[in-house]
Amino acid sequence: MKIATSQIMRKIDRYCIDILGIPGIILMENAALKVMKNIPENNKKFVIVCSSGNNGGDGFVVARHLLNRGNYVEVFFLGSDENMSADALVNFNIIRNMGAKIIEVNNNDELEILRESIIQCEITIDAIFGTGLSREVKGIYSLAITIMNENSKYILSIDVPSGFECNNGKVMGNCVRSNKTVTFELYKKGFISYDAESITGEIVIEKIGIPKAVVDKFHEDEYIMDIDFIKGLIKKRNKYSHKGDYGRTLILAGSPGFTGAAYISTQAAVRSGAGLVTLGCDSSIQNILSGKLVEAMTVSTNDEIRLDFLITKSDSIAIGPGLGNNKCTLNLLSKVLLKSKCPVVIDSDGLNVLEGNLEMLKNKKCQIVLTPHMGEMARISGFSIDEINKNKISIAKEFAKKHNVVLLLKGFNTIITDGETVQINPTGSSAMASGGMGDCLTGIIASFISQGYDIMTAACIGAYIHGYSGDKLSKEMFCVNANHIIEALPSIIKEIQDLE
């Protein structure tokens, strides 16, 4: 599913209208028909709040179709018809000629009429501002939005909630808080921001007749993943294959007091399909973990000859979970980056020791996946957590490109990027907020790399099935821990693979 900014949407619209010759009024009609598709026929009383732009024009067309359906409709108009866009004016005149009830809102008395009408209606339709909003919402517009939020039983927003900045999710002074947002053609970038869902409600994407070639011309390779995309990535296993075909995974993890991180990442690699998995850990905890890990082998990180052999012969390496933020971890990471020719997944303390040592990434002989959470990203990038939250995609993309890595930035709407393409993972929930979840994800990604997937694909599959497993389990569980995910992995992967 493709993601767009307001600038991209503007270019797409202008190209369709100015170059292809598609009249804007046709796009407006198509948009309104798709909004109608999302309005239940059992609802009979509507208030539509419009302004003078094309978003308001969409609202006027919706009003016409609701009137034709025999519904009771009141249209509240904010602004002046002197400033109305040409297409909006055509549709405004049509509903006026039809005898629609139109109330212009310019003062407190008319705002009070709006309040009373909203209280009496079943659905309030928000058609004030669209994706082009770039200024703070003030005055009569802000007052009307407050009335809508405080008195509506149900709000449906056209394209974006009015007052929502669709590039970054910022509230522009005041904002409609919708139950459903019907947006057009592409998922808006601001929808991925923290708390956006509390503003947009359910998001429905509808096509309005924009040619695919036009979307492809202006789209910037930013996507939100869905289950069909992941299904298309997961390969069918050949009936004649054997464990050697699914690769050798080396997990370097764990230290005294942190055996759980080593166990979780190793077991996640086993359960997500790697052919052979070996855990490299400190000799002081090797016996403990050997007793717990039935399907994986173990080696002491103190056994340099054996360790060097595994580093050079593995198909993927994961390093970091539970190792400790210390000189030993830094030295181990340095060795891996210098000697390994297979992809390396760096997580947890592997990331922590990169703080101030990013030059290590320049000397690598291998491909790298970094999997930081916000705190780790702040430490290695130099940006504050607040700065990252406000500019997640651009910061992640620039970091990945600069250091020639795949970056998986964990959190709500996890971002995965190689510096060119961006994939956003919508799966996962707060039910998964517990220790070991990151270790689990690290093992899954390393496992898929060993199975022959490129590092970007492995990161995408890993993030999606990790979160999807949590989503599915949380339907029947108050909280979901890493062991629950690990147990579910084989059946979840199979379920996605077998989807019709």
Question: Does 223 appear as a known binding residue?
Answer: no
Could you tell me if 461 and 441 are in contact, meaning their C-beta atoms sit under 8 angstroms apart? no
Residue 410 annotated as lining a ligand binding site: yes
**CB 40 within 8 Å of CB 69:** no
Determine if residue 135 is labeled as part of a ligand binding site: yes
To which residue do tokens 């700065």 refer? Answer: 387
Residue 420 marked ligand-binding:
no
Q: What is the DSSP string of 141-205?
A: HHHHHHHHHHH-S-EEEESS-TTB-TTT--B-SS----SEEEEESSEEGGGGSTTHHHHH-EEEE
Instruction: Report whether 428 belongs to an annotated binding site.
Output: no
Q: Is 439 annotated as a binding residue?
A: yes
Instruction: In whole angstroms, give the CA distance from residue 90 to residue 98.
Output: 13
Residues 6+ apart with CB under 8 A from 411: 373, 374, 392
Report DSSP state, residue 132.
T
| Angle in degrees, CA 48, 52, 54, rounded to 5 | 85
141 marked among binding-site residues:
yes
Q: Is 129 annotated as a binding residue?
A: no
Rounded distance between C-alpha atoms, residue 263 and residue 277, angstroms: 12
Looking at residue 290, the DSSP 8-state letter turns out to be H
Q: Which two tokens stand for residue 108?
A: 């407190």
Cα 416 from Cα 414, distance rounded (Å)? 7
Q: Is 57 annotated as a binding residue?
A: yes
Which residue matches tokens 């002491």? 300
Q: Is 438 annotated as a binding residue?
A: yes
According to the annotation, is 300 in a ligand binding site?
A: no
Known binder of ligand: residue 457? Answer: no
Can you tell me the distance from the alpha carbon of 465 to that of 385, in angstroms, rounded to the nearest whole number?
A: 26
130 is in an annotated binding site: yes
Enter the tokens of residue 489: 């992995």
Residue with tokens 């430490």: 379
263 assigned binding-site residue = no
Q: Is 261 annotated for ligand binding?
A: yes
Q: Per the annotation, does 411 bind a ligand?
A: yes
Q: Is 54 annotated as a binding residue?
A: yes
> Annotation-wise, does 453 bind a ligand?
no
> Is 308 within any annotated ligand binding site?
no
DSSP 71-109: -EEEEEEES-GGG--HHHHHHHHHHHHTT-EEEEE-SHH
User: Does residue 226 have a known ligand-binding role?
Assistant: no
CB atoms within 10 A of CB 123: 22
Q: Is 108 annotated as a binding residue?
A: no
Is 475 a known ligand-binding residue?
no
Which residues belong to the annotated binding site? 54-58, 126, 130-136, 141, 159, 162, 261, 322, 373, 410-414, 438-439
Which residues belong to the annotated binding site for (6S)-NADPHX? 54-58, 130-136, 141, 159, 261, 322, 373, 439
Which residues belong to the annotated binding site for K(+)? 55, 126, 162
Which residues belong to the annotated binding site for AMP? 410-414, 438
